[in-house]
Amino acid sequence: MSTFFLMCWEFFKTGLFAVGGGLATIPFLQEMSAKYGWFTVQDLSTMIAVSESTPGPIGINMATYIGNHMFGFLGGTAATLSLVAPSVIVIIIIAGMLERFRDSKAVKGVFEGLRPAVVGFILTAVVSIYVSSLLFVDAWKASGSIADLFNWKALLLFAALLAFYKWKSKVHPVMIIFIAALCGMIFAF
């Protein structure tokens, strides 16, 4: 299978099983990174930061970014459509049956069971983002020094922005994103 069609298939599977929104796609993207090496975990952290700070759903932004990175405009379009296709197909199928099964205990049970799984996906993604952004695990393993474990600049920025947000709780989150992006460009985190 060519890499292009493999990428489309992987995004199709991601769209099919990433229930719960864009953050639920992150574990699938981590698996793609480990399995195919199309991008590194550091690249994924950058993609998440860019996708979160640009308009639109994070999963679609990341699919577009990865597809474009790999195959240009055609790849970005194909990855985006591959991610969205399962939702469109499922919505078309379910729309006709929803009225019949709306009050079904089985359907309600399925959705009740999906909620904890979605929380687990999102929690895994959040922990992974924190680890890759705030810690240098490889440098720590190489040196054995606890001082090499922490990304001190990123930790200080995180603490400063958190303190600023707590102090000025009425500041809009977009302002925090803008300040963090500006600091990242200036200090090259």
For residue 115, which phi and psi values (nearest 5 degrees)? -55, -50
- pLDDT tens, position by position, 45-58: 888 878 777 777 88
Domain residue ranges in the chain: 3-134, 142-189
Q: What is the pLDDT of residues 62-110, one digit of tens each?
A: 899 899 989 999 999 999 999 999 989 988 887 777 777 777 888 788 8
Assigned token pair, 152? 């001190």
Mean pLDDT in residue range 168-185: 81
Structure tokens, 94: 């379910």
- Return the half-sphere exposure (C-beta side, CA atoms, 13 A cut-off) of residue 6: 9
The residue written with tokens 């953050």 in the block is 23
